[in-house]
Amino acid sequence: MRTTITVNGEARSLDLDPRTTLLDFLREKVALTGTKKGCDHGQCGACTVLVNGVRINACLSLAVMHDGDEVTTIEGLGAPEALHPMQQAFLTHDAFQCGYCTPGQICSAVGVLAEIKADIPSHAGDVGAQARLTADEVRERMSGNICRCSAYPQIVDAILDAAGNLP
Amino acid sequence: MKPFTYERASDAKAAVQAAVETPGARFIAGGTNLLDLMKLEIEQPQHLIDVGRLPMATIEDTADGGLRIGAMASNTKVAADARVRSRYRVLSQAIVSGASGQLRNKASTGGNLLQRTRCPYFYDTSKPCNKRQPGAGCAALEGHIRESAILGASRACIAVHPSDMAVALVALDASVETLTPSGETRSFPLMELHRLPGETPHLETHLIPGELITAVVLPPLPEGGQQYRKARDRASYATAHASVAVVGGRIALGGLAHKPWRAADAEAALASGATAEEAMGVELKDATLRDENAFKVPLATRLVAATLREAAQ
């Protein structure tokens, strides 16, 4: 099935088996292996990417459902010589050990900051009040991203720092 | 995943028509639950009709002062809507207490209602399950499962409905709008959408095959306080062992039954002066308990008491 998805600014048009997930499309068809396959069932968040600026699990979406969409992966956020502020913050705070969950953590974190800016509420706060960026909010909003090395304290610091909000 | 064909629906009527005419067809919106189950081959649709981009994602005021939520509105969009947050805060609270940010961004309102149970024996294809294969038996009955139903369960199925959103919607007395295979619009109370398992737990709703949920409609702002509370094993990203939505004098319970449970007996008892504990004693008098889920009785009772107090503040 002919499908065109813009990945990191570049239009990619391919004939796809409808079974191809967005995750497999990115990794196997477009050879962008920064996005990781962890559980492949939406439980770990390693496959998190931004679709039209919004974070989703790439494993729980079919590529054909994204015809015409714009996807940003970890490779599109920054480059080794020009890191995205969130990538730099993860380095600064040593916010990983093995690094496997990190691309998903970083894409998710970029999505979280956009969601707070857009005043999307979370379970950590009062839904009637303006969304705020606090450590508790970051922990709640990042709960869909699992880190088996348990770098959580550093991840929270990195996200607060990238937002210019480190105490 | 088993092979399937795929089409993107051009409009709602065409989608319903295709669903009726194509063997093994299923609607897909966000897909976050359906694709998970397709990977495990628990769901094996032969054809997917993508309704995710149909123009049914708006949230609009109704003439009588309520709110009409398009079935394709994402869970995030509903939870973040200023009118929902100010007038129907229990709905926003329930939505953000479920799933993860990534899933809420993708999952639709209609799909949330139709998501399937997280019973581990439903997911374990090496074990019999009457939901997966009618008449196969229920491994959960002899298994180890804390998250099973205590209300309305049957010998065929003890699974619970996993939605938080639906519990708040029942307490809000919401209704569902659909497009039927004959092309008509119908509307009915959301409380009547889901079935109890009985002998046919594979039938989970009263929708007609091919019928498409197009909207959820909230009645005008109800009187009284609102509050949603959820008890679970983790602080975030886990389904409820018990949850409670209070809207004025109405109470709905989650995590206890095959459907979001309207606690009408408890409501009546409270209205005639009973304490929360007494009211829940009445509501749970016919609860079917197992060693591993009996904890849900004191849990739900205390949760209701606490939620009523908070809603009244």
Domains, chain A, in order of start with CATH, read 2-77 (3.10.20.30), 85-162 (1.10.150.120)
Burial class (CB in 10 A: 0-12, 13-18, 19+), B51: buried
* pLDDT over threshold 70, residue A143: yes
CB < 8 Å from B in window 88-147 of A: 108, 111-112, 115, 118-123, 127-128, 139-145
Q: What pLDDT, on a 0 to 100 scale, did the predictor assign at position A167?
A: 58
Q: Are B102 and A45 within 8 A, CB to CB?
A: yes
Query: Which chain B residues are within 8 Å of A62, Cβ to Cβ?
Result: 6, 28, 31, 35, 48
Shortest CB distance from B101 goes to which of A21, A111, A128? A111
For residues A42-59, give the mean pLDDT.
98
As a whole number of Å, the end-to-end CA separation of chain A is 50
Q: Are A61 and B48 within 8 A, CB to CB?
A: no
Distance from CA of A82 to the nearest CA of B (A): 27
CA-closest candidate to residue B193, choices B205, B202, B203: B205
Residue of A nearest to B32 (CA): A60
Distance from CA of B305 to the nearest CA of A (A): 20
Work out whether the CA dihedral A37, A40, A45, A50 comes out positive or negative: positive
Q: What pLDDT, on a 0 to 100 scale, did the predictor assign at position B221?
A: 86
Q: What pLDDT, on a 0 to 100 scale, did the predictor assign at position B97?
A: 98
Q: Are B102 and A62 within 8 A, CB to CB?
A: no
* pLDDT over threshold 80, residue A166: no
**Token pair belonging to A164:** 């210019």
User: What b/e string do you get for B245-261 counting C-beta neighbours within 10 Å, with b at 16 or more?
Assistant: bbbbebbbbbbbbbbbb
Residue B241, helix vs strand vs coil: coil
Q: Are A42 and B1 within 8 A, CB to CB?
A: no
Q: What phi and psi, each to the nearest 5 degrees, are found at residue A49?
A: -135, 170
Residue A51, helix vs strand vs coil: strand
Which of A40, A66, A127 is the best mutation test for B, with the most CBs of B within 10 A? Answer: A127
- Measured distance CA(B283)–CA(B241) in Å, rounded: 17
Q: Are A1 and B6 within 8 A, CB to CB?
A: yes
- Measured distance CA(B44)–CA(B195) in Å, rounded: 22
CA-closest candidate to residue B266, choices B276, B256, B255: B276
In chain B, which residues touch A (CB < 8 A)?
Answer: 1, 3-6, 8, 28, 31-32, 35-36, 39, 48, 50, 52, 76, 79-80, 85-86, 89, 92-93, 96-97, 99-103, 105-106, 234-237
Shortest CB distance from A144 goes to which of B8, B100, B235? B100
Query: Which chain A residues are within 8 Å of B4, Cβ to Cβ?
Result: 18-19
**How does DSSP assign B188-236, residue by residue?**
EEGGGTBPP-TT-TT--B-PPTT-EEEEEEEPS--SS-EEEEEE-SSSS
Distance from CA of B156 to the nearest CA of A (A): 27
Q: What pLDDT, on a 0 to 100 scale, did the predictor assign at position B184?
A: 97
Distance from CA of A52 to the nearest CA of B (A): 11
Q: Are B36 and A61 within 8 A, CB to CB?
A: no
Shortest CB distance from B92 goes to which of A42, A118, A127? A127
**Is B165 in contact with B88 (CB distance < 8 Å)?**
no
Shortest CB distance from A45 goes to which of B8, B93, B100? B100
pLDDT in tens, chain B (313 residues): 999 999 999 999 999 999 999 999 999 999 999 999 999 999 999 999 999 999 999 999 999 999 999 999 999 999 999 999 999 999 999 999 999 999 999 999 999 999 999 999 999 999 999 999 999 999 999 999 999 999 999 999 999 999 999 999 999 999 999 999 999 999 999 999 999 999 999 999 999 999 999 999 999 988 999 999 999 999 999 999 999 999 999 999 999 999 999 999 999 999 999 999 999 999 999 999 999 999 999 999 999 999 999 999 9
Burial class (CB in 10 A: 0-12, 13-18, 19+), B137: middle
**Is B161 in contact with B267 (CB distance < 8 Å)?**
no
Q: Are B28 and A112 within 8 A, CB to CB?
A: no
The string of pLDDT tens digits covering residues A64-83 is 999 999 999 999 999 999 99
Q: Does A82 touch chain B (CB under 8 A)?
A: no
Shortest CB distance from B89 goes to which of A19, A108, A128? A128
Shortest CB distance from B236 goes to which of A56, A111, A123? A123
Shortest CB distance from A42 goes to which of B3, B36, B236? B36
The string of pLDDT tens digits covering residues A101-130 is 999 999 999 999 999 999 999 999 999 999
Which of B102, B115, B116, B236 is the best mutation test for A, with the most CBs of A within 10 A? Answer: B102
- Measured distance CA(B160)–CA(B293) in Å, rounded: 12
